[in-house]
Amino acid sequence: MTLLTTWPESGPQTVVRRTDDPAEIAAALAPIGVRYERWPVREDVPRDADSDAVFAAYRAEIDKLVEEESFATVDVVALHPTDDPGWAEKARAAREKFLSEHTHDDDDEVRFFVAGAGVFYLHVGGEVHAVLCEAGDLLGVPRGTTHWFDMGVSPSFTAIRFFHEEDGWIGNFTGSDIALRFPDFDALRAGRTAA
């Protein structure tokens, strides 16, 4: 279930907003410049589908968004549990990279979730907005927006990424420990919203 939870930046003791209604989520995020929309989920695309299969399934939506936004690069990123003994370390390292608050100077962060889930935390205007995205969710975080991302202790997702710049993902880390003060992906999925 897609979920938006908003707290004051001082901490998660008070919930300002909590909704799972897509129209309410889009309306709440629009004033801070964040794009949220739902795309149809292609049930025939397995969660471990390769990039070619994902591109083929979502070609119409990808082409439309690329034309609207003039994206230079589109790719597919996936991280799902495997029997590989190195998987847990790979997942931990991937999660750590995005858990620290950061911004992007040169590009928006636009993601469409094909499968699985992840949480974008947006630190804007004295509030923290946690957007728990699942299959079918497209989120566009404007360049310069302070945020972080959590995929949980056992990540499982496939996402299409859109970039205006060919360099891809370049984060400018703020050095803040704010991400440690808010419920993580696993707590939000479990319904625990206080620290």
Q: Would you kindly state where each structural domain of the chain is located, as residue ranges? A: 3-190
**Prediction pTM value:** 0.93
Is there a binding annotation on residue 80? Answer: no
Is there a binding annotation on residue 129? Answer: no
Give residue-wise pLDDT tens across range 19-47: 999 999 999 999 999 999 999 999 999 88
Is there a binding annotation on residue 104? Answer: yes
Is there a binding annotation on residue 147? Answer: yes
* pLDDT under 50: residue ranges of the chain: 195
- Please state, in angstroms and rounded to a whole number, the distance separating the CA atoms of residues 89 and 109: 25
CATH for 3-190 (3.40.50.720, 3.30.310.50, 3.30.565.40, 2.60.120.10): 2.60.120.10
- Report whether 81 contacts 87 (CB < 8 A): yes
Specify the residue for token string 């891809």: 168
